[in-house]
Structure 1
């Protein structure tokens, strides 16, 4: 997840790196904040997982924009260190201006420094950063936008926040590409008798404090459809094998840790389970599929755009 929020060891899917304190005055119950070290670890796996199948319908919509010659304005919400822009900007033709939104100025700095500079056809890509959260993502904030993006964001939002995001995109008439939302399913090979119980406890943990967790994609699809958007979904699973052990091990610690935090009675069995799984990971014998879903919402254009 590349958004921002409370401090502490809040174990959403990827909260496995110690988190820093939220700045003074910010609400303590927002989406979790993740450290750059974790975002760096997951970036190549994220890039491999995202559903490129959704890019052709997105390109078709963007190609129909009458102002396309002036360049694309893309708003990346909860941008974290900017991995979504580094993945998507080089896959789209034409000049682009990316507006990166995050509550964390520390992450915004990383995102700006490492932002891509050229599009697929060599056109220029420029960057702007804005510190803020979803409460400030109004239709006015999206004036001129042709696309809203986010990565690993939906599952750590509440239903109200997802509704606000869909409403803002619909009012602005711009599509939304929202990738890597957890689907609530994990496949581990070899299997273990405790897999299902850990998964269930983790999913319950994701729903704490009103967050949608694995229900987020369905909620977002309903919210966008309710505003007249055409919605497409596509699987985007992480596939973790021996070559990804550097990511799998911290992911396992966070995944099991969240389950135990949710159900403390699991601790003794979960500790043994984690030791076994980490040993298998270190030996190159563990394979994990963490299921995600990507969502493309093609909102109805406004202002006469086709």
Structure 2
């Protein structure tokens, strides 16, 4: 399973096709950090062990941005296990995670190269917390339900962040905004190798799956808010967003070319503002 949200930005519309795009990941990381719902971190200290290292399994870790954001917000020793199917990203993430927690306790790291869609409760056994970023919308309903079942059976809370919602606001408005957005959302829900991706439906499906199995679920908004200071990220996002819409509806190619040119010019001039809707989800047990 390629976590394109964390790697190439495709679920959010990023424009780099390489699964090893550390440049794209570096570009989006500050926006991700600002967007994450920090209030969902507040319950975590009560869920983690007091003195023994907290074992945090980060699924589809990409460049390791979740670890860089979260490790320093938690106190006590931590042991991060980073999962991805790209060895290059795993190496980068391992080498760039913090080595100390909020209180100076040690943080250790190891990596596992694997297919996330095949994880079971046995794979997650002993975890204090499961995390992921920009992953859920790339899964099918069956894969989400399998992941949720693994978390519940292993008894580990899950903090699953930055899943797209199909909500995009651009200011100033353009007549093609709604049509491009609808085509992009359809692309998010496309069928790939017999798997129908959940796309913008992923957060609701995941929350429902956890609740069916008795978990308490909290969902909070975590939107990107892009303005003149994020013009480069906005431009990359626009290129990928429009490209996915055209891939879904090739008849949009001609009008979309003009649309993209207008939007890129506005971003370069510092005149475009974009809000890209995401949501973060925390699942815990009584």
Whether the TM-score (by the shorter chain) exceeds 0.5 is yes
Output the CA distance in 1 between the equivalents of 2:120 and 2:144.
Answer: 13
1:12 equivalent to 2:11? Answer yes
Q: Residue 213 of structure 2: which of 221, 227, 245 is its match?
A: 227
User: Residues 116 and 161 of structure 1: is their aligned pair in 2 closer, same or farther, counting only changes over 3 Å?
Assistant: same
CA contact (8 A) 1:178 1:294 kept: yes
Q: CA deviation at 1:36?
A: 1.7
Output the CA distance in 2 between the equivalents of 1:276 and 1:48.
Answer: 27
Q: What TM-score, normalized to structure 2?
A: 0.94
Q: Residue 62 of structure 2: which of 57, 64, 80 is its match?
A: 80
Question: Counterpart in 1 of 2:235?
Answer: 249
Q: CA deviation at 1:170?
A: 0.2
CA contact (8 A) 2:13 2:239 kept: no
Q: Residue 55 of structure 1: which of 27, 34, 41 is its match?
A: 41
Output the CA distance in 1 between the equivalents of 2:165 and 2:95.
Answer: 32
1:110 equivalent to 2:92? Answer yes
Output the CA distance in 2 between the equivalents of 1:101 and 1:4.
Answer: 14
Q: How does 1:87-102 map to 2 (within 5 A)?
A: 87-102=69-84
Q: What TM-score, normalized to structure 1?
A: 0.88
CA contact (8 A) 2:13 2:238 kept: no
Q: How does 1:31-70 map to 2 (within 5 A)?
A: 33=19, 35-62=21-48, 67-70=49-52
CA contact (8 A) 1:2 1:80 kept: no
Q: CA deviation at 1:45?
A: 0.5
Output the CA distance in 1 between the equivalents of 2:55 and 2:220.
Answer: 24
Question: Counterpart in 1 of 2:263?
Answer: 277
Question: Counterpart in 2 of 1:160?
Answer: 142
Output the CA distance in 1 between the equivalents of 2:44 and 2:216.
Answer: 11
Local SS of the residue matching 2:47: helix
Deviations 1:173-210 (A, max 9, x none): 01000000001010001011111111100000001111
User: Residues 285 and 2 of structure 1: is their aligned pair in 2 closer, same or farther, counting only changes over 3 Å?
Assistant: farther
Q: How does 1:205-216 map to 2 (within 5 A)?
A: 205-209=187-191, 210-216=196-202
Question: Counterpart in 2 of 1:140?
Answer: 122
Q: CA deviation at 1:71?
A: 1.5
CA contact (8 A) 2:47 2:128 kept: no
1:185 equivalent to 2:184? Answer no
CA contact (8 A) 2:13 2:244 kept: no
Mark the runs of 5 or more structure 2 residues left unpaired by the alignment: none
Output the CA distance in 2 between the equivalents of 1:14 and 1:183.
Answer: 13
Q: CA deviation at 1:161?
A: 1.0
Output the CA distance in 2 between the equivalents of 1:166 and 1:256.
Answer: 32
User: Residues 201 and 217 of structure 1: is their aligned pair in 2 closer, same or farther, counting only changes over 3 Å?
Assistant: same
CA contact (8 A) 1:2 1:34 kept: no
User: Residues 51 and 260 of structure 1: is their aligned pair in 2 closer, same or farther, counting only changes over 3 Å?
Assistant: same
CA contact (8 A) 2:170 2:273 kept: yes
Mark the runs of 5 or more structure 1 residues left unpaired by the alignment: 20-32, 301-306
Output the CA distance in 2 between the equivalents of 1:290 and 1:10.
Answer: 12
What RMSD, in angstroms, separates the aligned Cα atoms of the two structures? Answer: 1.8
